[in-house]
């Protein structure tokens, strides 16, 4: 009888232990999911109107691609900073592709990330990102002072930062476009005043 | 003077717990060697030239220690394990004092990054002290079936509690990042 009690209490302890572990893991997963929704606590952030740091790098999808600087075809550039390990980033990829196609008249989409090349190649084929420049460089993220992901920086064709911000959903992307519209009007206005 | 003695069941639970801990962490570091060498670089304690060899040697040491705490020499292995854990604790403490708080602790190499906290220092010190318990002489008694049951369940429970503790430490860190 005592033996059964001993075994039973051990099993109970282990079961409780397992449940406790599962609970703490669930909290961890929850944190991961809602992580990027937090407030923007940037140390030094990018300033709208500043000239965007120029980079010319080999794209994982082939060829060379540039970020920053004057864009000859007159389109603005949306640089999407992401990580292969961030679930929110991945959720946004189909939406970004769709918006990139819809707005292709005036917008060029560039993906930027860092880490292991193999993982990103897998991501590119999984989400069919072959048509977009995909840059793998820690320097770009550092130069643009990206501290939270996923992050979007919208660069005007003239090479200045038009808008930037954390991207978690469709509204965030649209608000970047709105901020871009506002800033271009402002620049035109300033140019008119200067002229 | 009465010397402190521990029951062999307690000693075995600790030994198997350390065995699992070091074996898992050693294999994990081997599998993610590149990530581990980046973590080592982040700690800024070793000269750059030594990083790549250290990222191979440290997991090897962990695995050797894991095996030797069970099969070779319990006391000697326990002493080295305790020293190794203290070194890890010191490495984290040094970086906390440097203010290098966004450093990836390398606790979960295959998963998301986790920044260093003082809780990790306490955890390592607690583990190092547990390893030192193995240094005490064990009482001499023959073990029955229920002792082995206790060893098996006890070590499994310890591993489970350790994993939960780690998860809780990781959660407080990730919670701080949200706020």
Q: Which residues of B touch A10 (CB under 8 A)?
A: 149-150, 153, 157
B45 in a structural domain: yes
Contact yes or no for B171 and A28 at CB 8 A? yes
pLDDT band at A37 (very low <50, low <70, confident <90, very high): very low
Please, what are the averages of pLDDT over each run of 10 residues along chain B (179 residues)?
78 91 89 81 80 87 90 86 92 84 72 78 92 85 85 90 88 76
Helices (H), B32-141: 33-43, 48-71, 74-97, 118-133
Q: For residue B20, is it within any domain?
A: yes
Secondary-structure class of domain A55-194 per CATH: alpha beta
- Give me the interface pTM, i.e. the ipTM: 0.78
Query: Is residue B2 one of the residues assigned to a domain?
Result: no
Domains of chain A, by residue range, sit at: 2-37, 55-194
Task: Check if A13 contacts B (Cβ < 8 Å).
Answer: yes
Residue B86 lies in a domain: yes
Quick one: residue A49, left, alpha or beta (phi over 0 = left, psi -120 to 50 = alpha)?
A: left
Contact (CB, 8 A) for B116 and B95: yes
> For A91-117, what is the mean pLDDT?
85
Instruction: Give the model confidence (pLDDT) of A145-189 as tens digits.
Output: 887 788 888 888 888 888 888 888 888 888 888 888 877 766 555
User: Which residue range forms the structural domain that includes residue B140?
Assistant: 8-178
Residues of A in contact with B168 (CB under 8 A): 24
Q: Is residue A39's pLDDT more than 50?
A: no
At A49-72, the pLDDT tens digits run: 777 888 888 888 888 888 887 887
- Shortest alpha-carbon distance between residue B1 and chain A (Å): 35
Give the pLDDT band (50/70/90) at residue A1: confident
Q: Within an 8 Å CB–CB cutoff, is residue B5 touching chain A?
A: no
Size of interface A-B (CB pairs under 8 A): 57
Segment B115-160, tens digit of pLDDT: 788 888 999 999 999 998 888 888 888 888 888 888 899 999 999 9
Kindly give the pairing relationship between strand A107-113 and strand A134-136. Answer: parallel
Cβ separation A10–B175 shorter than 8 A:
no
B132 within a domain of the structure (yes/no): yes
Q: Please spell the DSSP secondary structure of A97-149, one letter per residue.
A: HHHHHHTTTTEEEEEEE-S-HHHHHHHHHHHT-TTS-EEE-HHHHHHTT--SS
Q: Is residue B82 part of a domain?
A: yes
Residue B106 lies in a domain: yes
Q: For chain B, what is the domain count?
A: 1
Annotate B58-82 with three-state secondary structure.
Answer: HHHHHHHHHHHHHHCCHHHHHHHHH
Task: Note the pLDDT of residue A35.
Answer: 66
Task: Report the alpha-carbon distance of residue A164 to residue A149 in Å, rounded.
Answer: 12
């Amino acid at each position: 009888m005592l033996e059964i009690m001993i075994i039973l209490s051990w099993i109970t302890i282990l079961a409780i232990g397992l449940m406790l572990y599962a609970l703490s893991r669930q909290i961890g997963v929850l944190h991961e999911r809602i992580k990027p929704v937090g407030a923007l606590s940037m140390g030094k952030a990018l300033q709208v109107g500043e000239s965007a740091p120029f980079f010319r790098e080999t794209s994982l999808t082939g060829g060379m691609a540039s970020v920053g600087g004057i864009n000859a075809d007159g389109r603005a550039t949306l640089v999407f900073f992401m990580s292969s390990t961030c679930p929110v980033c991945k959720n946004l990829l189909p939406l970004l592709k769709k918006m990139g196609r819809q707005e292709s008249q005036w917008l060029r989409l560039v993906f930027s990330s860092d880490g292991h090349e193999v993982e990103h190649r897998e991501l590119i084929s999984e989400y069919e990102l072959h048509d977009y420049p995909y840059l793998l460089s820690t320097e770009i993220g550092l130069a643009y002072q990206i501290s939270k992901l996923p992050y979007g920086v919208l660069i005007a064709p003239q090479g200045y930062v038009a808008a930037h911000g954390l991207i978690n959903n469709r509204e965030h992307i649209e608000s970047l476009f709105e901020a871009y519209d506002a800033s271009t009007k402002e620049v035109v206005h300033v140019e008119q005043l200067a002229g | 003077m009465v010397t402190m003695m521990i029951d062999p069941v307690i000693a075995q639970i600790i030994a198997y717990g350390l065995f699992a801990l070091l074996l898992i962490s050693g294999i994990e570091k081997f599998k993610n060697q590149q990530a581990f060498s980046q973590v080592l670089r982040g700690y800024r304690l070793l000269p750059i030239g030594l990083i790549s060899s250290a990222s191979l040697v440290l997991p090897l040491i962990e695995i050797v220690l894991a095996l030797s705490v069970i099969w070779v020499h319990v006391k000697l292995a326990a002493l080295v394990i305790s020293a190794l854990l203290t070194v890890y604790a010191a490495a984290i403490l040094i970086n906390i004092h440097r203010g290098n708080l966004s450093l990836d602790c390398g606790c979960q190499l295959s998963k998301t990054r986790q920044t260093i906290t003082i809780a990790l220092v306490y955890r390592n010190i607690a583990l190092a002290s547990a390893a030192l318990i193995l240094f005490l002489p064990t009482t001499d008694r023959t073990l029955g079936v229920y002792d082995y049951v206790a060893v098996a369940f006890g070590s499994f429970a310890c591993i489970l509690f350790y994993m939960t503790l780690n998860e809780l430490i990781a959660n407080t860190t990730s919670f701080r990042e949200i706020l």
